[in-house]
């Protein structure tokens, strides 16, 4: 079942006076997300990630296109939908003097919670987001990573079925980012929440997301699992060899070999398909009396796919 079905979404921002400026932020974006999935929207700055997320989360209206989220139209049925989803924006900020527990409770009241229900909800979220030791700490005293976790707790206060995370690890130290990612993975695993996140870190998308949509200049250029994207772009795979003798000039001319390079004593042959080319390559090397001391087959990094797409 689909949590999100967006078709041909367009959004242009008009600003400036007296000279009007127009920015086409989304130029016909279609995206579907299955229930229970984690989907990453990956793209460079200005690609339209935040705009897309804001439309899906009913915070902006599209100029054109049709968007159905959890079975509701995002424009006509926005208020019914808002109770069932939530969003964490890239740079969360709350009243600096409020304490962690107070912040979560404040947002709980906005969703109509009170009394025991509210207390229990706040308790369980503080626990879930590992904020128990910080419950009475003012927001302004928290580290960036903890602030991000408060934002997550706040966004879970209405028990959303669908959660939007806009660059959840932007500006975090790598070790903190790892923990935030672990939290996100757990939310899906333990609570079955559908998650759409934006990021410009390939590794984040690669590790966390079932599927990735590449967005650039308001268009989705490719979509699939990280493995599918790598194949789709046809970057090939790398067969790295340690050989004796270390150099074999004819290797670059062999069938299916796209290019060969020497890196730190390894011969790196990029081939169209490692599975298909490897047996033949090994046979030929053997027949020529070349000794293979070591061998690795590597997929291209998602980063390489990204660079290729962003051209």
Contacts with ligand ADP, residue ranges (CB under 6 A): 13, 15, 23, 25, 43, 45-51
Quick count: other Cβ atoms within 10 Å of Cβ 40?
Answer: 26
Between 42 and 125, name the residue whose CB sits nearer to ligand ADP.
42
From the CB of 97, what's the least distance to ligand ADP, in Å? 29
- Contact of residue 48 among Mg ion, ligand ADP, none (CB under 5-8 Å per partner type): ligand ADP
Between 86 and 198, name the residue whose CB sits nearer to ligand ADP.
198
**Phi-psi sector, 71: left (phi>0), alpha (psi -120 to 50), beta:** left
- Contact of residue 62 among ligand ADP, Mg ion, none (CB under 5-8 Å per partner type): none
Longest distance between any two alpha carbons in the chain, whole Å: 80
Enclosing H/E stretch for 10: strand 2-15
Between 152 and 260, name the residue whose CB sits nearer to Mg ion.
152
Q: Which residues contribute to the site for Mg ion (CB under 5 A)?
A: 49-50
- Contact of residue 13 among ligand ADP, Mg ion, none (CB under 5-8 Å per partner type): ligand ADP
Between 51 and 148, name the residue whose CB sits nearer to ligand ADP.
51
Buried residues in 52-78 as b, exposed as e (16+ CB within 10 A): bbbbbbbbbebeebebbbbebebeeee
Please check whether residue 182 is in contact with residue 10, taking contact to mean a CB–CB distance below 8 angstroms: no
From the CB of 135, what's the least distance to Mg ion, in Å? 31
User: How far apart, in Å, are the Cα atoms of 164 and each of 49, 54, 101, 207, 282?
Assistant: 11, 9, 22, 17, 48
From the CB of 166, what's the least distance to ligand ADP, in Å? 7
Between 134 and 164, name the residue whose CB sits nearer to ligand ADP.
164
From the CB of 221, what's the least distance to Mg ion, in Å? 17
From the CB of 132, what's the least distance to ligand ADP, in Å? 33
- Contact of residue 51 among Mg ion, ligand ADP, none (CB under 5-8 Å per partner type): ligand ADP
Please check whether residue 98 is in contact with residue 138, taking contact to mean a CB–CB distance below 8 angstroms: yes
Q: H/E/C letters for each residue in 55-66?
A: HHCCCCCCCEEE
Tokens of 225: 């699992």
From the CB of 223, what's the least distance to ligand ADP, in Å? 16
């Amino acid at each position: 079942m689909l949590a999100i079905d967006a078709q041909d979404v367009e959004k242009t921002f008009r600003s400036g006076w007296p000279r009007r400026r127009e920015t086409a932020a989304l130029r016909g974006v279609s995206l579907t997300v299955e229930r229970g999935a984690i989907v990453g929207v990956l793209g460079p700055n200005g690609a339209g990630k935040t705009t897309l997320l804001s439309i899906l989360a009913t915070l902006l209206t599209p100029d054109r296109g049709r968007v159905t989220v959890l079975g509701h139209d995002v424009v006509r049925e926005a208020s019914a939908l808002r109770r069932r989803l939530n969003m964490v924006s890239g740079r969360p900020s709350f009243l600096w003097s409020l304490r962690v527990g107070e912040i979560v409770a404040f947002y709980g009241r906005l969703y109509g919670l009170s009394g025991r229900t509210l207390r229990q909800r706040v308790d369980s979220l503080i626990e879930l987001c590992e904020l128990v030791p910080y419950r009475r700490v003012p927001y302004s005293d928290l580290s960036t990573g903890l602030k991000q976790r408060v934002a997550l707790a706040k966004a879970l206060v209405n028990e959303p079925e669908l959660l939007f995370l806009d660059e959840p690890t932007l500006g975090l130290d790598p070790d903190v980012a790892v923990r935030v990612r672990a939290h996100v993975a757990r939310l899906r695993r333990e609570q079955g929440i559908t998650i759409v996140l934006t990021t410009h870190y390939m590794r984040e998308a690669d590790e966390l997301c079932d599927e990735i949509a590449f967005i650039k200049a308001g268009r989705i250029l490719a979509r699939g699992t990280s493995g599918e994207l790598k194949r789709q772009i046809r970057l090939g795979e790398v067969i790295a060899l340690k050989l004796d003798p270390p150099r074999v000039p004819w290797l670059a001319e062999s069938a299916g070999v796209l290019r060969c390079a020497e890196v730190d004593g390894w011969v790196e042959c990029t081939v169209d398909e490692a599975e298909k080319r490897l047996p033949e390559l090994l046979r030929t090397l053997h027949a020529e009396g070349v000794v293979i001391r070591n061998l690795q087959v590597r997929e291209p990094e998602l980063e390489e796919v990204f660079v290729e797409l962003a051209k």
